[in-house]
Amino acid sequence: MEYTFLGRTGLKVSRLCLGTMNFGPYTSEPDSFDIMNKALELGINFFDTANVYGAMWDPAGVGNTEKIIGRWLAEDKSRRNKIVLATKVYGNMGKAPNESKLSAHHIRKACEDSLKRLQTDHIDLYQMHHIDRDTPWAEIYQAMEQLVREGKITYVGSSNFAAWNIAEAQMIADQRNFLGVVSEQSIYSLRNRQIELEVIPACKHFGVGLIPWSPLGGGILCGVLEKAKEGRRTREPLQKSVEKLRPQIQAYENLCKEIEQKPADVALAWVLNNPVVTSPIVGPRTILQLEENVKALEIKLSEEALKKLDEIWPGPGNQAPEAYAW
């Protein structure tokens, strides 16, 4: 396993991050335990979850994924110090008016609840799951700083932030002599390259580690033309996307055959090729999928292959404003 620093921090994390969204809805608890054990065995020390995960948008299941991880940690106390544990705050955790977003009230309560579900005394990376346009940064940071002082969280990260949100967050953190945001978790793959315009340049400038989610394009880049019998690849929305993108997908899968690599491995290797990327999130449903994901670390794409991938899945061509203005 390869390791790198999380953004501008001195914290080392594996070059692949274990995503846990499948734990509960698509992967049973025993199988989830096996996947986490295998991840440790493979050297993956970076685990990502969120307080809302657990039932794929079913309000009754929120928190279940954290509970599964908590029971796994409780099974062997030595596991906690072997992983960098990341979770998120923002999502709707109930029907009351203050059970979502980033008020100081909700941040405090959500953190305490996550700690209980995870059966741990601290969260290594506490991520804001979305920008909250109604809560001032002074209030957000007051809550985060307090949690740091209490030892309940160590680092603060963001997710789904625009570049200017990252810049604003860091400028205000500097004014408060606070470390601020050290990572940004954003959608990024060959299929979706919009963040190359501004988010990636912002991460590079501010020393924010980029943690791409959905690096396999929601299943589009997994060899989807081979019919799947189960799992998220069988969902109707994905199948509709396949039909819409079929020419690109076919060209992509043909290229992967040409370079003798599996489509999912090529997609991960492409994301890992970007120097701003810290750890793409992989969300295996099975141990076999996890083992396949790790193989991507061994792939070094040639300049010719990278050029062909750009032709099949074109990005903006440059960062803003050069991408659209002189």
- Among residues 169, 159, 156, 21, which one has the least CA distance to residue 90? 159
Our measurement of the distance from residue 113's CA atom to the centroid of its chain's CA atoms, rounded to an integer in Å, reads 21
Cβ proximity of 225 and 251 under 8 Å? no
Q: Which amino acid is at 318?
A: N
Contacts of range 258-263, beta carbons closer than 8 Å, 24 or more positions apart: 259/301, 259/302, 259/305, 261/299, 262/223, 262/292, 262/295, 263/221, 263/222, 263/223, 263/224
Query: For residues 106 and 93, what is the distance between their CA atoms, to the nearest angstrom?
Result: 10
Of all helices (H) and strands (E), which one includes residue 18?
A: strand 17-19
Active-site amino acid positions: 53
- Give the span between the Cα atoms of 31 and 188, in whole angstroms: 27
Q: Quote the longest CA-to-CA distance of the chain.
A: 58
Distance CA 317, CA 320 (A): 9
User: How many angstroms separate the CA atoms of 294 and 148, rounded?
Assistant: 33
Bridge-based pairing state of the strands 3-5 and 153-159: unpaired
Q: How far apart are CA 231 and CA 131, in angstroms?
A: 30
Helix (H, G, I), strand (E, B) or coil at 38: helix
